[in-house]
Amino acid sequence: MAAPVDFLTYVDDHQDQFIQRLATAVEIPSVSGEPARRPDVVRMAKYLEEQLQAYGVETKQVDLGTHVMDGQTLPLPPAILGRIGNDKAKKTVLIYGHFDVQPAELSDGWSWPPFTLTRDEKTGRLYGRGSSDDKGPVLGWVNVLEAHHQLQKPLPVNLRFCFEGMEESGSEGLDDLILEEVKKGKESWFDGVDCVCISDNYWLNTRTPALTYGLRGISYYKVNIAGPARDLHSGVFGRMVHEPMTDLITLLSKLVDPQGNILVPGVDEMVPAADEEEKKLYTALDYSIEDVELSAGGKIALSDDKASVLMGRMRSPSLSLHGIEGAFYGAGAKTVIPAKVAGKFSIRLVPPQTPENVDPLVISYLETEFKKLGSKNTFSIENLHGGKPWVEDHKHWSYEAARRATEAIYKQTPDYTREGGSIPVTLTFAEALGVNVLLLPMGRGDDGAHSTNEKLDISNYIEGTKLLGTYLYEVAAGTKA
Amino acid sequence: MAAPVDFLTYVDDHQDQFIQRLATAVEIPSVSGEPARRPDVVRMAKYLEEQLQAYGVETKQVDLGTHVMDGQTLPLPPAILGRIGNDKAKKTVLIYGHFDVQPAELSDGWSWPPFTLTRDEKTGRLYGRGSSDDKGPVLGWVNVLEAHHQLQKPLPVNLRFCFEGMEESGSEGLDDLILEEVKKGKESWFDGVDCVCISDNYWLNTRTPALTYGLRGISYYKVNIAGPARDLHSGVFGRMVHEPMTDLITLLSKLVDPQGNILVPGVDEMVPAADEEEKKLYTALDYSIEDVELSAGGKIALSDDKASVLMGRMRSPSLSLHGIEGAFYGAGAKTVIPAKVAGKFSIRLVPPQTPENVDPLVISYLETEFKKLGSKNTFSIENLHGGKPWVEDHKHWSYEAARRATEAIYKQTPDYTREGGSIPVTLTFAEALGVNVLLLPMGRGDDGAHSTNEKLDISNYIEGTKLLGTYLYEVAAGTKA
């Protein structure tokens, strides 16, 4: 069932108002990672809640308690739950989004003040922190609500909302909220949810809409090597003692090679190779080596073969060496032998990998390799955090509805993508609710979500609003078919 | 010629005054590395100059110009030249020392305020920044001058002084001063100098006085690997692109092994192995594996063989990996792929190694190894600074004089040591003046020169003052012999 014409027309006719709505939201610097801006996150929660209420959504602010950041105990910003519609003949869709943003300062290299929405008529872009991640998509849903409210049209599905203000700072408190809410059964705000839709990622490129059905997991490690009681002078102690940095660098060099192959035995091997049919899925995606090099800002792709590069991100594990804690990191030439160093690295996981089956391989490998060094320093390894990968059934009716909606709005078949990163709440919803989760991105691959000059194309915001609304109609149609 | 008894008695009788002199000096926080304390370095220069003048030394403050530190242009503290005695029948000894100190804050972990000299009667120690490095030794010379002045005894040699206030910050301006002064010929304050004596290092241990005849040189390198235009998200880009950290860690792992062997072909091989006779020199030193592990604060010696461990520091090159600039170095778990990283390492050099013959080996080896990686990232290597090693003829009459003086005061034959670190001015004096340079340490191996709770044992300060004076008499005796 295509979306009704009056809805689509309403969206077109109210572009300027919708952009003004986004401008108001961007002006609230709801940076969850900076304690001083915590009141702005709360203010943003209130703004969003008022918008939802204005269009008939019943809401509830949920207090998530406190947490510690930079040594300060801070109240967490509230999460907002919402519901509208309770028609048992309709499907119920749960919408997730977040209203906090990454830090941004003009001095980081922004061309415009980050907390003012700057409209560039020439490129048709809206610049500002949060424009794409995730205020644009969240307000896209509000736009859909407004259109139906003003047109006095009933929504084609029942909607539930779960919006948080800590996504950019580890979604603290959210998992607990979801798990406790689910436990309430009939009393739960999530009762009767048939599927979840999250609009918080991006197209693969700048041209083709995408549906995303997979995310990599992660396991993050810290390898500690310690020896002397204090940092030593390399002139005085060099070649008298085992140096922790030498041990650590030797170990880190045994984890991954410059072609990206993971050297920990058994890790790459856990993932079955793609057959020709699966490779075709990646060949079919609208993406090129030029796209990856453009977005990385360097001609550094691991291969000239598009499918191989895309599989590297979407269906292969990866191991990245992030840095070293405790060693000299400044400019200049300090001649220190650091006493205690910690190497940080992480592995992105794909099914069937989980932290539970990968961690023992990594830990025992490094323990064995450390013993081979014959060093008198001490070794230990910690797992700092982990998360399972997620892959969804992309032939589910929710994905079919999203495909039809995309074809209706963009006249294009969407790319079916898997993302290399993690959105942990996806897995929480999938496991806690036991329903299909769809990632339906609004923005483009070059939006610069965590970067300077974050933007959302006006066309993505407006057509994206239509897409979200149309998706709801297609969900309803799928149900009736 | 032993020192006259009245000199030795004067020193014993004036211990408290000498300690008070050191206390006054320690109270001036002449930290050359902190721009805000630069006026204190100038105040310390003035205090020292007045002390010298009080005991008959003609002095001159030399303006060394300006330099840039932390982005500020600062006047360098003056160097102080001094001279006393012009008897052509006597040897002329040039004394070098420095009156600036390392930074120190109580909050670094000092047990007492670092800029107050704290006398611990139980241990017989004087705690305070600069007590051992290098205010104690410098004032040891002043004590010798005072004794002769008060006793109205002529000094056994002519003395020249060169004291600087920038030693802890790279001795800026000093090389130029020495080279220009030497050029002046007959007008030079260094005219007629027969030998140089520097008291600015330490005994090997806490028991045995030492004469030091060698220092290692250094060559410091920075290896740059760059790829993307900005830091990348490891979820999004992991296994799509060549990661600079992977390349850098792989390269750094090819430089040195956990046993301290340098893996750059040709570097270790430049230094002839020690024969049995040379090994005996090291076996003879009053030193143990326990000493090295005590001073390092960990049981991490590379070998159980004392001679081998001592040769590692004194007559072998060493390669230390200091750290990485540009990578994640904080606490926590950041999932970044750093765009541009720089590995810092240095090689301590021993004869016949020099930066000139070692640098090409290192550079061409790393260039070759980088090509082997098959990475599309970019590679470059810089040499940040270098200095030649120095080894002196330890059978020279100046060393013989110092040996006899040590035997007279301490009733012990000194250890003949080579230091693992560098004191660049040593080589400048040796090359510019073409005379023998002697390092005659006053303090012990556990003084903690650049550490918290720096100290000088009272006995080292008092007996050390006698040693410095006696050395001058033995130089005079050696001349006449």
Torsion A152-A156-A162-A168 (CA) sign:
negative
| B69, B200, B248, B249, best to mutate vs chain A, most A CBs in 10 Å | B249
pLDDT tens for A369-421 read 999 999 999 999 999 888 999 999 999 999 999 999 999 999 999 999 999 98
What pLDDT band is residue B355 in, cutting at 50, 70 and 90? Answer: very high
Give the amino acid at A230. Answer: R
Helix (H, G, I), strand (E, B) or coil at B237: helix
Give the total number of structural domains in chain A. Answer: 2
Structure confidence at residue B405 (pLDDT): 98
Does residue B70 surpass a pLDDT of 60?
yes
Q: Within 13 Å, how many C-alpha atoms sit on residue A289's CB side?
A: 12
The Cα A8–Cα B396 span in angstroms is: 98
Q: Do A191 and A143 share a domain, yes or no?
A: yes
Q: What six digits make up the tokens of B6?
A: 């009245």
- Among B residues 249-308, those touching chain A with beta carbons less than 8 Å apart: 249-250, 252-253, 256-260, 292, 296-302
A52 and A177 share a domain?
yes
Q: Residues 329-358, chain A: which have Cβ within 8 Å of B?
A: 329-339, 344, 346, 348
Q: How far apart are CA A365 and CA A367, in angstroms?
A: 5
Q: Give residues 93 to 112 of A whose Cβ lies within 8 Å of B.
A: none
What does the block give as tokens for A368?
């064995």
Whether residue A201 sits in one domain with residue A113: yes
pLDDT at res. B8: 98
In a domain, A51, yes or no: yes
Residues 199-218 of B with CB under 8 A from A: 216, 218
Cα B324 from Cα B343, distance rounded (Å): 5
Residue A422 has a pLDDT of: 83
- Please report the pLDDT score of residue A124 as a whole number: 97
Q: Is B373 on the interface with A (CB under 8 A)?
A: yes
Put simply, the chain A residues between 391 and 410 with a CB less than 8 A from any chain B CB are: none
Question: What percent of chain B has a predicted confidence (pLDDT) above 70?
Answer: 99
Residue A290's CB is within 10 A of a number of other CB atoms, namely 12
Interchain pair A327, B325: CB under 8 A: no
Distance from CA of B3 to the nearest CA of A (A): 34
CA dihedral for A428, A434, A436, A442, sign (positive or negative): negative
Cα–Cα distances (Å) from A376 to A241, A244, A255, A310, B443, in that order, read 9, 9, 21, 43, 30
Helix (H, G, I), strand (E, B) or coil at A22: helix
**CATH code, domain with A469:** 3.40.630.10
CA atoms of A476 and A156, how far apart (whole Å): 6
- The partner residue sitting opposite A240, judged by closest CB among B252, B253, B312, is B312
- Asked if A329 lies within 8 A of B316 by C-beta distance, the reply is no
CA distance B443 to B207: 10
Asked whether residue A59 falls in the same domain as residue A114, the answer is yes
Q: What is the pLDDT of residues B431-441, one digit of tens each?
A: 999 999 999 99
A450: chain B residues, CB-CB within 8 Å: 233
**The two structure tokens encoding residue B207:** 């028991």
Interchain proximity A241–B298, CB inside 8 Å: yes
Look up the domain containing B472 and give its range: 5-216+390-477
The rounded distance, in Å, linking the Cα atoms of A45 and A52 is 11
Report pLDDT for B230.
Answer: 86
Query: Residue A251 in 3-state DSSP?
Result: helix
Q: pLDDT of B207-240, one tens digit each? A: 999 999 999 999 999 999 999 998 898 998 999 9
Answer for the pair B473, B2: CB distance below 8 angstroms, yes or no: yes
N-terminal to C-terminal alpha carbon distance within chain B = 9
For B346, the closest chain A residue by CA position comes to A335
Cβ atoms within 10 Å, residue B266: 14
Which uninterrupted H or E stretch holds B267?
none
For the record, the structure tokens of A45 come out as 């929660």
- Reported confidence tier of residue A170, pLDDT bands at 50, 70, 90: confident
Cα Rg for chain B, rounded, in angstroms? 24
The torsion defined by the Cα of A319, A321, A326 and A332, in degrees rounded to 10, comes to: 180
Give the residue-averaged pLDDT of B452-480.
93
Which among B347, B366, B387 is the end of a domain? B387
What's the pLDDT tens digit per position in B75-111?
Answer: 999 999 999 999 999 999 999 999 999 989 998 889 9
State which amino acid sits at residue A327: A
Q: What is the ipTM of this complex?
A: 0.87
Is residue A280 domain-resident? no
C-beta of residue B38 within 8 angstroms of C-beta of residue B75 = yes
CA angle centred on B323, ends A250 and A382, rounded to 5°: 60
What pLDDT shows up at residue A479? 53
pLDDT class for A451, splitting at 50, 70, 90? confident
Is there a domain that residue A115 lies in?
yes
Residue A287 lies in a domain: no
| Whether residue B85 is found in the same domain as residue B232 | no
- B105 with B148, same domain: the answer is yes
The pLDDT tens digits for A135-147 are: 999 999 999 999 9
Residues B339 and B370 in one domain: yes
Q: If DSSP codes are grouped into helix, strand and coil, which group holds residue A385?
A: strand
Whether B443 maps to a domain, the answer reads yes
Token duo for residue A448:
């610069």
Which among A330, A375, A385 is the nearest to B258, CB-wise?
A375
Q: Is residue B288 part of a domain?
A: no
Average per-residue pLDDT in chain A? 95
Give the mean model confidence (pLDDT) for residues A50-63: 98
The CATH number of the domain where A224 resides is what? 3.30.70.360
pLDDT of residue A480: 45
Tell me which chain B residue has its CA closest to the CA of residue A418: B236
Beta strand B79-84 with A390-391 is unpaired
Residue A17 has pLDDT above 50, yes or no: yes
Searching chain B, which residue's CA lies closest to the CA of residue A245? B321
**Pairing status of strand B92-98 against strand B158-164:** parallel
pLDDT at B481: 42
Question: B199 lies in a domain?
Answer: yes
Same domain flag for B329 and B204:
no
| B230, B320, B338 member nearest A297 (Cβ) | B230
Question: Would B277 be classed as within a structural domain?
Answer: no
pLDDT in the model for residue B479: 53
Q: Are residues A327 and A195 in the same domain?
A: no
Using only C-alpha atoms, chain A has a radius of gyration, in whole angstroms, of 24
- What's the whole-number mean pLDDT along residues B5-21? 98
Return the pLDDT at A450: 82
State which of B345, B365, B387 marks the end of a domain.
B387
Pairwise CB contact (< 8 Å): A235 & B252: no
B76, B146, B471, B473 from B2: Cα distances, Å? 41, 19, 9, 6
- Closest CB to B322: pick one of A309, A327, A377: A327
More confident residue, A230 or B265: B265
What gap in Å lies between CA B83 and CA B355, rounded to an integer?
Answer: 35
In terms of domains, do A20 and A87 share one?
yes
Which of A168, A201, A234 is the best mutation test for B, with the most CBs of B within 10 A?
A234
> Are both B188 and B320 inside the same structural domain?
no
Asked whether residue B24 carries a pLDDT value surpassing 70, the answer given is yes
Domain end: A365, A387, A409, which one?
Answer: A387
Q: Could you tell me the pLDDT band of residue B327, with boundaries at 50, 70 and 90? A: very high
Give the N- to C-terminal CA distance of chain A in Å, as an integer.
Answer: 9
Rounded CA gap, A147 and B87, in Å? 105
Percent share of chain B, pLDDT over 90 = 88
Shared-domain flag, residues B46 and B175: yes
Instruction: Indicate whether B364 pLDDT > 50.
Output: yes
Q: What is the pLDDT of residues A248-272, one digit of tens each?
A: 999 999 999 999 999 999 999 999 9
Say what the pLDDT of residue B474 is. Answer: 97
- Using DSSP, state whether A300 is helix, strand or coil: coil
Give, in order, the Cα–Cα distances in Å from A223 to each of A33, A252, A325, A342, B298. 26, 9, 10, 5, 19
C-alpha A403/C-alpha B222 separation (Å) is 52
